[in-house]
Amino acid sequence: MLASFGPFTALRALDATAEQRAQALHSGRALSVLAELARDARSGNGSTVKRLLELLPFAPSFFDLRRMPSGYWLARIEQALGRQQLLFVPGWDWVRSVSPSAARSEAAQAPSESAPFTPSARPSAMRTHELRFEYVTNTGHPITDDDGFELRGPGGAVQKGKLANGRLQRTGVEPGAYELRTRSIKSACWSTTSAGPFEPVELLVTTRGFPDGTRVELVIRPAHGPPDESGFRIQGEIKSDQARATWVYEQAIGGRLTEELRFEVSAGRKHACSDRLTVSAHASGTPQGTQERLRARGYDAGPPADDWSAPLRAALRRYQSEHPPLIASGELDPLTVELLDDPFAPVG
C-alpha cells in the first residue's frame, strides 16, 4: 500500500520476522497511515482497506462486510494495530518475499542490530498461498452443507470434507487451479406441463456432485395439498448427474377430472420441488373423454380405450337410465354430452 510518506506493506505479526517487527511503524505513525487510508476509502477507493481486513485474526466474511458499517471494520483494524497483531513495515511486498514458516522460525531469534533489511525474491516454491471459498444464499446467509464436498487441486489431488458456515479456507496451498465440488439438485421438472389421465409422463432430475448409484426418492402429491400429505412414491438412482422415472396418472372411480400435481425429490440431505403438472380430461364427445367423465361420476367404464368398447357403452347406458330425461340408448347424444359436462349435475 502507498501512503503520502512512503510505501508500506501490511503483515500479520505472526507472519513477520524479528527484523520486520523491529522495522515496523510504532502505533502512532501506523494509525496516521490508517487514517489516510480511511480517507481514501470514503472517497471511493476502499480496496486497500479490504485487503487489510483479510489480515485480521478473524477475517470477516462477505456476509459480515454487508451486515456491519465501515466504521466498525476501521475500528477493528485500529484495534489490531494497537495490539500489534497487525504491522505496517516500510517497503513493498513483504508477504510475497517471506513465507510464514520462515517468518515464524526467524521470529524466535533475538532482534538483529544489522543494517536495514532489504527484501529479496524467494523461489516461487517457498511462497505461500491462501485458498478461500464462501457460499451464501441470495440474501447473504451462509450455507451449511452436511453432504460434503470435494476439493480438487493441482495434479488431481482430492480433499473431502463438510462445508461449515458457508466457508472453506486453506492456507499454505500450492499454486494452481482449484475446484470445489458440492452436491446439489440443480433442477426437478416434468417432461410436459399438461397431460391426460393414463398418459405416461416423465419426472426429470438433474444433479451435481453425487456419485453414480446414489438413491433418490420422488414423491408425487397434489400441488395445493399440505407438504406432509402422503403421495405416490418412486425410488430411483442417479446416473451421470441425472435421475428419471416414468409415471401415469390413473384416474380412480370417482376421481377428479382435473388435477394439479407436483413432485418432491430427495437425494441425501438435499431436497427440491418440481413445477406443476396439470392433468385434464380429454375432449367431451370422444370415447376417452366420455369414459373419464363417467369415471369421475362413479361409473366404471372399463379400462382406458380410444374406441366405443362394450364396457363404455354399458356404463353410458346405466348413467342415462339413472338420469332422466336421458334416453338409455348407450349412444352419446347432445343432451348426454351437456349433462356430463355440467359440473353441477347430480353425481351417481
Domain range enclosing 144: 130-182
Decide which of 221 and 125 is more confident.
221
Numbers of helices and strands, H then E, in the chain:
10, 17
- Looking at the domain assignment, is residue 346 inside a domain? no
Q: Which of 253, 279, 305 is the last residue of a domain?
A: 279
Residue 117 included in any domain:
no
| 62 and 96 belong to one structural domain | yes
| Whether 256 and 302 share a structural domain | no
The residues, any chain, with a CB within 8 Å of residue 254's CB and separated by 6 or more, are 295, 296, 297, 298
Q: Record the cell numbers describing residue 79, joined without a space.
A: 484495534
How many structural domains does the chain have? Answer: 4
| 224 shares a domain with 267 | yes
Nearest one of 50, 78, 75 to 65, comparing CA atoms:
50
- Beta bridge pairs of residue 114: none
- Residues 175-211 have pLDDT tens digits of 888 888 888 899 999 999 999 999 999 999 999 888 8
Q: Based on the fold, state whether residues 138 and 198 are members of the same structural domain.
A: no
What's the CA gap between 328 and 346, in Å, rounded? 17
Q: Using one digit for the tens of pLDDT, what is the confidence trace for 313-345?
A: 999 999 999 999 999 999 999 999 999 988 766
In a domain, 7, yes or no: yes
| The predicted structure's pLDDT at residue 104 | 35
Boundary (domain end) residue, out of 255, 279, 303: 279
In a domain, 113, yes or no: no
Which string of DSSP letters, residue by residue, matches 141-199?
A: PBPPEEEEEEEE-GGG-EEEEEEBTTEEEEESPPSS--EEEE-EEEEEEES-SEE-TT-
**What's the mean per-residue pLDDT of the chain?**
79
* Percent of the chain's residues with pLDDT above 90: 36
* Residues sharing a CB contact under 8 Å with residue 39, sequence separation 6 or more, in sequence order: none
253-262 CB burial, b ≥16 within 10 A, e <16: eeeebebebb
The whole-number pLDDT of residue 345 equals 67
- Helices 310-321 and 334-341: crossing angle, nearest 10°? 80
Structural domain includes residue 206: yes
**Number of other residues whose CB lies within 10 A of the CB of residue 125:** 8
Do residue 299 and residue 254 come from a single domain?
no
Domain end position, chosen among 237, 254, 279: 279
In a domain, 124, yes or no: no
Q: pTM of the prediction?
A: 0.56
C-alpha cell at 155: 495434479
String of DSSP letters for 226-260 = -TT---EEEEEE-BTTEEEEEEE--PPTT--S-EE
Domain assignment present for 140: yes
Interatomic CA distance for residues 77 and 26, integer angstroms? 15
Q: Which residue in the block uniquely carries the three cell numbers 520476522?
A: 17
